[in-house]
Chains A and B, each alone.
Chain A
Amino acid sequence: MALQYMASPVPDRELKKGSAELMILSLLENRPRHGYEIAQLIELRSRGAIRFNVASLYPLLYRLEKRNWIRGRWVEKPGQRRRRYYRLTASGKNVLSKQRAGWREFVEAINLITGIQHA
């Protein structure tokens, strides 16, 4: 069964927010993407375990944009309607590498405690 991300049972609200930010920043690391693509990729790569809907994804994107971690821009491509593409900014890159390190430590700590091993 697919897990509605915002309704997921992870208890810590900050943890949720932080993980969502990390996911979006990671997806924009290599190339700019539009909102629908981001949502699709998250769903695909989590094999349907995590899903964003419009009401939660876009406010988050706008927040990241406001913090100047990502920047959105309308782009027109031949034969397509224009779309807003988001790309990672320099300060976004910084944040991403810090958040990644933090998560790695956090997950390792959880693993140590719970005895869960990587597959």
Chain B
Amino acid sequence: MPDFKVEIRARLAKVGLSPLREAEIVEELSQHLEDEYERALSCGTSEEEARQQALQQLNASDLLGRELKHVEQRVPVAVTLGTEEKVNILADLWQDLRYALRTLAKNPAFTSIAIVAIALGIGANTVIFSAVNAVLLRPLPFKNPEQLVMVWENAAHLGFPKDTPSPANFLDWQKQAGSFSGMAAMVERSFNLTGVGEPERLDARRVSANLFELLGVPALIGRTFVPDDDKPGTHVVVLSYSLWQRRFGSDPSVIGRAITLNGESYTVIGVMPRSVQLPSSGTWKDQVWVPISFPADEAASRGSHFLEVIARMKPGITLKQAQTEMDTIAARLAQQYPDHNKRRGAVVVPLHEQIVGDIKPALLVLLGAVGFVLLIACANVANLLLARAAVRQKEIALRLALGASRSRLTRQLLTESVLLAMFGAGFGVLLALAGIRALKTFIPAATSQVQTINIGARVLIFTVVVTVLTGIAFGLAPAIQASHLDLNDTLKEGGRDSAGISKGNRARSFLVIGEVAVSFVLLIGAGLLINSFVHLRNLHPGFRADHLLTMQVDLSEVKYPNLERRASFFDEVIRRVRALPGVQSAACASNLPLKYNGGSTTTSAEGIPDPPPDQRPDVVFRAIGPGYFGTMGIPIIRGRDFTDHDKANSKDVVVISEKTAQHFWPGQDAIGKRLKPGLSKSDSAWREVIGIVKDVRQNDLIAPPKMQMYFTYRQLKEFPPNALVVRTSIEPMSLAGSVRDAIWSVDKDQTVSDIDTMDHIVSEAIARQRFSMLLLGIFAALALVLAAMGIYGVMSYSVAQRTHEIGIRMALGARRADVLKMTVNQGLKLVSIGMMLGLAAAFLLTRVLASLLFGISATDPITFLGISLVLLAVAILASYFPALRATKVDPIIALRAQ
């Protein structure tokens, strides 16, 4: 038979077809010519004549090419920039991609399972990385943010390793520290904005005049503060972008206008850009800034600690150098002022760490966890690919035999897996978009930058890199294995037990072992967090959080300048609120637990000498109104609550917590004893203990409660109540409107804010723990499902391969139970090895969780045992079903199939 292919190829040369298409056309046309040639021979023509006759079919030399040019799409060869080799690579890639697409389309079941697994893995990674990117990686919106630090007092001996500095200490630091180009103080304070629409309570801060200059952020419009602005009596204010937008309609002419804050007039001098958000505890979001000024007595005070201090290190100064200098200064101040500063150090913390510190460990753990999930997904897909490679062995062997190089074949298979990864990533990014929306509701509201979490360029680059690596990760093993086939073995018929397959099985077993190990680690992590969260949920805060409605009612100092005015306002409000249907009781307080940090003070008891400065007890105090304990559900153990008769002109009284009573009068009855805030020689009055109540977790749900005492606000004029708490018999939030109306019926200009239930406040207090627990739980569940899929896949495949063997066993008398046991055992062997490795890894890795755990250790035996049982059960199930199929093998059919 003459070869017509050369002739046909010559005519196609100028058409510019893709190599694959050209090969197809050459094959089809040459068949036609061969048929023609044979027909001519059968009619008795000579071979040469028959050949000529067949070639006539190609007609004039260029007709075929011309016609095809109209029809066929040409491969773009415009990319021939470099050498011929490059063209080949591009053409190969094009061919590989099309071939891969066709292969994937041919196996929709395989392709969709693989894509779902990858999409889950990559989606989870994209979500968490987008959070890491927004919260941890994005630089703060300040000039040279790496130079910015916060400076705290270190009073670790009192339980405050990062204590708020006192004004006098701050002023000394400012004067003495040479490591910093600037140091600024600030303190949170709320203002009532009146005179423009509805009255509103604003989160605000008093700040040193140099703060914004130190941060390196100019005003968006107008100006920031200048040094003269923090002289006492200057009433200027800088607005935040959001307040300017919300309350002043982004009107630039607001500069120079006077606004009323707490009944006093302030001149607006500037508006800050949107990005400016100073570090804050909790959900505090500054709306306005006013200059801080220290009156002489405050400037001299070392005993009251309420400032936050930001500083900028001079260029070239390291954190360590700054810390060393501050240590020296703090030691000097401790010597100079031992009464207040003994054992008080100073600690320098990078601003970024201060802002992200709380959430950082959780995010890093989660980033690790999603990495693990992706690894498991990769292992699963690799498993599928290996199984398929076994099926495709003949195809691959044939291509090798026909002259395809092994590297070319590896490239082809890798193209396929990377393409698969890209499809998965496409869906993964869609999943991530939904996931980010969910994440924003999970993530603790106090985390800075939450609203900036999105899929930006950096996240996309991350996803693309991860995708390509993923594709290579799960494609490499199958590709290498496939391209190292033994041709002889594979091409022989019945090569069922060939080395290639058993090698493939080994690889698949290793993958399952790995999957089990990794998901075991994740499950242990999730188990520990869930266990720890249960401990947290079971913590008793010291009060009954259910059916409590709380709100912030900040009285203006101008309108309510004295105790009488405040008392009559609250008396009237509480009387009206109590009259509302559904309300059981109501009370006011200066600070509600877990909401706003209140003050604490050195306290002395009558008849007990003051201990040395570093051993003085620090007692948390609250100013409350009558009925507070009953409303909050804080049990009174002994004595009585405050009543309306405890007034400014009656005997000074105090209610203390159990822990306080224990500290001052261990083993004695504290009722009737006297104590006072401050040192015993101070001029404040002695107060008689009239009641002892249960300890309450005031500032922190997790830390053990500190010593506490309560005053009635009517005997403590410095601390006006500004919160209202209402116990209801119905769903608390349903009363929010009527309680607010009751307040407005007493004073229509009074601001009411932060309306919330106590249940919600308690649950917010463990938001960070819930966040880590929920997400890690979700990822661990995902890992478990993927691992189960992997075990199931391997066992199914192994049963299918062993059908013949099982048939023989059953023909020789094995019972179904034996087959079941044998098959499940095979699965369990893999799982046990995996769990053993996982156990070792978990012991090492869960240590990173330690900072996120409460009430249990990172090697909690109950969690380890429980999780092992869960994983074992899932593994048994995953191998049980394929095993069940094995028992259904009909020996006759299985044997005949061979």
Q: Distance in Å from the Cβ of A36 to the closest Cβ of chain B?
A: 4
Q: Smallest CB-CB separation from A52: which chain B residue? A: B57
Contacts of A81 in B (CB 8 A): 31
Flag whether A106 is at the interface (Cβ < 8 A). no
List residues 354-407 of chain B with CB under 8 A from any CB of chain A. Answer: none
- A84 lies within 8 A of B28 (CB): yes
Q: Smallest CB-CB separation from B8: which chain A residue? A: A54
- A36 lies within 8 A of B35 (CB): yes
B-contact 0/1 string along A58-93, CB 8 Å cutoff: 111011001000000000000001011000000000
Contacts of A83 in B (CB 8 A): 31
The complex places the Cα of A83 from the Cα of B36 at a distance, in Å, of 15
Contacts of B68 in A (CB 8 A): 58-59, 62
Flag whether A39 is at the interface (Cβ < 8 A). yes
- A55 lies within 8 A of B64 (CB): yes
- A54 lies within 8 A of B29 (CB): yes
Contacts of A36 in B (CB 8 A): 31-32, 35-36
Flag whether A35 is at the interface (Cβ < 8 A). yes
Contacts of A63 in B (CB 8 A): 70-71
- A54 lies within 8 A of B64 (CB): yes
Contacts of A56 in B (CB 8 A): 59, 63, 67
- B71 lies within 8 A of A55 (CB): no
Contacts of A34 in B (CB 8 A): 31
Q: Smallest CB-CB separation from A59: which chain B residue? A: B67
The complex places the Cα of A101 from the Cα of B648 at a distance, in Å, of 110
Flag whether A8 is at the interface (Cβ < 8 A). no
Q: Distance in Å from the Cβ of A62 to the closest Cβ of chain B?
A: 5
The complex places the Cα of A59 from the Cα of B36 at a distance, in Å, of 18
Flag whether A46 is at the interface (Cβ < 8 A). no
Q: Distance in Å from the Cβ of B424 to the closest Cβ of chain A?
A: 30
The complex places the Cα of A48 from the Cα of B70 at a distance, in Å, of 28
Contacts of B198 in A (CB 8 A): none
Q: Distance in Å from the Cβ of B34 to the closest Cβ of chain A?
A: 9
Contacts of A58 in B (CB 8 A): 25, 28-29, 32, 64, 68
List residues 31-47 of chain A with CB under 8 A from any CB of chain B. Answer: 34-36, 39
A-contact 0/1 string along B16-44, CB 8 Å cutoff: 00000000110011011101100000000
Quick one: which of B31, B56, B70, B71 contacts A53, CB cutoff 8 A?
B56
The complex places the Cα of A55 from the Cα of B36 at a distance, in Å, of 14
Q: Smallest CB-CB separation from B21: which chain A residue? A: A62
Q: Distance in Å from the Cβ of B25 to the closest Cβ of chain A?
A: 7
- A35 lies within 8 A of B71 (CB): no
Q: Smallest CB-CB separation from B4: which chain A residue? A: A54
Flag whether B72 is at the interface (Cβ < 8 A). yes
Q: Distance in Å from the Cβ of A48 to the closest Cβ of chain B?
A: 14
Contacts of A35 in B (CB 8 A): 28, 32
The complex places the Cα of A50 from the Cα of B24 at a distance, in Å, of 27
Contacts of B35 in A (CB 8 A): 36
Contacts of A60 in B (CB 8 A): 67
Quick one: which of A39, A59, A84 contacts B64, CB cutoff 8 A?
A59
Contacts of B24 in A (CB 8 A): 84
Flag whether B221 is at the interface (Cβ < 8 A). no
The complex places the Cα of A54 from the Cα of B68 at a distance, in Å, of 11
Contacts of B63 in A (CB 8 A): 55-56
Q: Distance in Å from the Cβ of A59 to the closest Cβ of chain B?
A: 3
Flag whether B58 is at the interface (Cβ < 8 A). yes
Interface centre among A58, A59, A60, A84 (most CB of B within 10 A): A59
The complex places the Cα of A34 from the Cα of B334 at a distance, in Å, of 100
Contacts of B32 in A (CB 8 A): 35-36, 39, 54, 58
Q: Smallest CB-CB separation from A81: which chain B residue? A: B31
Q: Distance in Å from the Cβ of B581 to the closest Cβ of chain A?
A: 72
- B31 lies within 8 A of A54 (CB): no
- A55 lies within 8 A of B31 (CB): no
Contacts of A53 in B (CB 8 A): 56-59
Q: Distance in Å from the Cβ of B10 to the closest Cβ of chain A?
A: 13
B-contact 0/1 string along A15-40, CB 8 Å cutoff: 00000000000000000001110010
Contacts of B67 in A (CB 8 A): 55-56, 59-60
Interface centre among A55, A60, A66 (most CB of B within 10 A): A55
Contacts of A62 in B (CB 8 A): 68, 71-72
Q: Distance in Å from the Cβ of B871 to the closest Cβ of chain A?
A: 47
Q: Distance in Å from the Cβ of B706 to the closest Cβ of chain A?
A: 80
Q: Smallest CB-CB separation from B29: which chain A residue? A: A54
The complex places the Cα of A58 from the Cα of B32 at a distance, in Å, of 10
Q: Distance in Å from the Cβ of A79 to the closest Cβ of chain B?
A: 15
The complex places the Cα of A81 from the Cα of B27 at a distance, in Å, of 11
The complex places the Cα of A35 from the Cα of B24 at a distance, in Å, of 13
List residues 638-681 of chain B with CB under 8 A from any CB of chain A. Answer: none
The complex places the Cα of A63 from the Cα of B71 at a distance, in Å, of 6
Q: Smallest CB-CB separation from B39: which chain A residue? A: A40
Q: Distance in Å from the Cβ of B402 to the closest Cβ of chain A?
A: 15
Q: Distance in Å from the Cβ of B376 to the closest Cβ of chain A?
A: 39
Q: Distance in Å from the Cβ of A53 to the closest Cβ of chain B?
A: 4
The complex places the Cα of A11 from the Cα of B879 at a distance, in Å, of 75
The complex places the Cα of A56 from the Cα of B57 at a distance, in Å, of 9
- B71 lies within 8 A of A59 (CB): yes
Q: Distance in Å from the Cβ of B81 to the closest Cβ of chain A?
A: 30
Q: Smallest CB-CB separation from A38: which chain B residue? A: B32
Contacts of B56 in A (CB 8 A): 53
Q: Smallest CB-CB separation from A62: which chain B residue? A: B71
Q: Distance in Å from the Cβ of B12 to the closest Cβ of chain A?
A: 11
The list of the 5 closest CB pairs from A to B, nearest first, reads A59-B67, A55-B64, A54-B57, A55-B59, A55-B63
Contacts from A to B (Cβ < 8 Å): 34-36, 39, 53-56, 58-60, 62-63, 66, 81, 83-84
Known contacts A54-B33, A66-B71; 11 additional CB pairs below 8 A are A35-B28, A39-B32, A54-B29, A54-B57, A55-B59, A55-B63, A58-B64, A59-B64, A59-B67, A63-B70, A84-B28
5 contacts between A and B (CB under 8 A): A36-B36, A39-B32, A55-B64, A59-B70, A63-B71
